[in-house]
Structure 1
Amino acid sequence: MQEPSPPSAPQREKILNAPFLPVLIAASMPVLYWFQERLPDQGLSMAFRVADLARGQWGGLFTSMLLHGGWAHVAMNAVGALAFGAPVARLLGKGLAPLAFVALYICSGVVAALGYGLCHPGSEAPLVGASGAVFGLIGAATRLLGGHGRVLPLFHPGVVRASIAWMAVNLIAGLAGLAPGAEGARIAWEAHLFGFIFGILAIGPLAHWFGSQPDLRPTEV
């Protein structure tokens, strides 16, 4: 006779079941802001100013994404990057696809800043925050929610309804200054809009080139 083997210990579920890159981006925000607070100018020299483009200074397009206007601003963007970056990172998670995720995040932030510049030419007001990049992830995730791992068509009714809702909230919060952490500063809702548009458009080709979408074609018997 054979003695029964002892029951195996139950496997523990991970407390945080999120892809590495969104976790890394979200975790980096409070760390970077901790260092920003200790800079002599609070990091304003790395902010984006539209007028800098005419002077040939383009660095702020990138460095402004590393800055924030307060801890509430940090928390809001970190939660957004984690929540909406997770489904996008799961889709773009194999081979070189993680590089596409990083490119989507960075390019969304750059496009958001440039879009803000189109609306405010020559402005000297400093623009800080990763909100434009986060809204790029929100736009991309909007075409994934309810798609069961597939990118929904751009004009799918669910995508259209969600996009209208997001932009309505963005416009109301921006014009009324209701966003957490604003602390009297102007909210660049235009940058959010351009970041969202870039993300919702870019996720289609990125998923085609780098995605790991399930094959839903019928199987022949």
Structure 2
Amino acid sequence: MDPTAVQPSQPPRPPKAAAKRVIPPKPVLSAVVVLGFVALLYVVEALDAVLPGSLDDEGVRPRDFSEWDNLIWYPLLHGGWAHLTGNAVPLLVLGFLASSAGIKQFLQVTAVIWLTSGLGVWVLGSPGSHIGASGLVFGFLVFLLVRGLFARSAWQIAVAVLVFAAYGAALWGVLPGQPGVSWEGHLFGALGGVLAAWGVARDARTGRRG
């Protein structure tokens, strides 16, 4: 046997198997990433508390071309500690579960939800400064609910049922009528979750056919 011969590499995990995961392949790394993002939200809120100018005015302002770039950072801003804390716990739980196929896919899913929510608010939102990570919360929630159906994964559907039992009441937040609540951000975040789930399922199908 030639010791210099190239040994075959370990075949990658089939896309189908990756698409049906429930627990992240590197749970510690996923936990660190999600915790790091939530910690960043607290750092930003602390800066907002000590700076003379309020960052709350830097949210998405619908149809304001001079501040279109606010959609890049608006989920990082919150209207006080209570607002932030209300988003932090579901972000930790849902974000961790949404990273079940790895950090790369998690970042892609987050980007889709983030941009869909921000663009939707900018185009169709009501006047004012829209802030908060609740669009991400709704996006992750709907992503988890829909992906199991696309992937035809019994375990993911079971997790989705548990997620819905815990946070399903929040879906009422996509409806208008709550003063001071950006229902548009919730609605378009949820739509971003559907788009992300569809994209994940499409990539899995493409990988299997390839």
TM-score, length of structure 2 as denominator length = 0.66
Following superposition, the deviation at residue 176 of structure 1 comes to: 5.8
- Cα distance per residue 1:145-186 (max 9 Å; x no partner): 7x8xx8348xx99879x87x9676433686564xxxxxxx61
Structure 2, unaligned runs of 5 or more: 1-26
Matched AA of 2:195? L
- Cα distance per residue 1:128-149 (max 9 Å; x no partner): 111112221111122357x8xx
Following superposition, the deviation at residue 74 of structure 1 comes to: 0.9
The answer on whether the counterparts of 1:49 and 1:127 sit within 8 Å (CA) in structure 2 is yes
Following superposition, the deviation at residue 118 of structure 1 comes to: 3.9
Structure 1, unaligned runs of 5 or more: 1-15, 178-184, 216-221
User: What CA distance in whole angstroms lies between the structure 2 residues aligned with 1:139 and 1:108?
Assistant: 10
Partner of 1:23: 35
1:1-221 matches, within 5 Å, as: 19-52=31-64, 55-91=65-101, 93=102, 98-120=103-125, 123=127, 125-143=128-146, 151-152=151-152, 169-171=170-172, 175=176, 177=178, 186-206=180-200, 209=203
- Cα distance per residue 1:97-126 (max 9 Å; x no partner): x233223223312211322344336x2x11
The structure with the largest helix share of the pair is: 2
Secondary structure of 1:57 counterpart = helix
Secondary structure of 2:132 counterpart = coil
Secondary structure of 1:103 counterpart = helix
The structure-2 alpha-carbon separation of the partners of 1:40 and 1:176, relative to structure 1 and needing over 3 Å to count, comes to: same
The answer on whether the counterparts of 2:117 and 2:185 sit within 8 Å (CA) in structure 1 is yes
User: What CA distance in whole angstroms lies between the structure 1 residues aligned with 2:151 and 2:34?
Assistant: 19
Secondary structure of 1:51 counterpart = coil
Structure with bigger RCO (C-alpha 8 Å, 6+ apart) = 2
Task: Provide the aligned C-alpha RMSD in A.
Answer: 3.8
User: What CA distance in whole angstroms lies between the structure 1 residues aligned with 2:137 and 2:181?
Assistant: 14
**Which is greater in Rg?**
1
For these two proteins, the number of residue pairs brought into alignment is 176
User: What CA distance in whole angstroms lies between the structure 1 residues aligned with 2:116 and 2:73?
Assistant: 14
TM-score, length of structure 1 as denominator length = 0.63
The structure-2 alpha-carbon separation of the partners of 1:19 and 1:90, relative to structure 1 and needing over 3 Å to count, comes to: farther
| Identical residues among aligned pairs (%) | 26
Following superposition, the deviation at residue 50 of structure 1 comes to: 0.7
User: What CA distance in whole angstroms lies between the structure 1 residues aligned with 2:195 and 2:62?
Assistant: 24
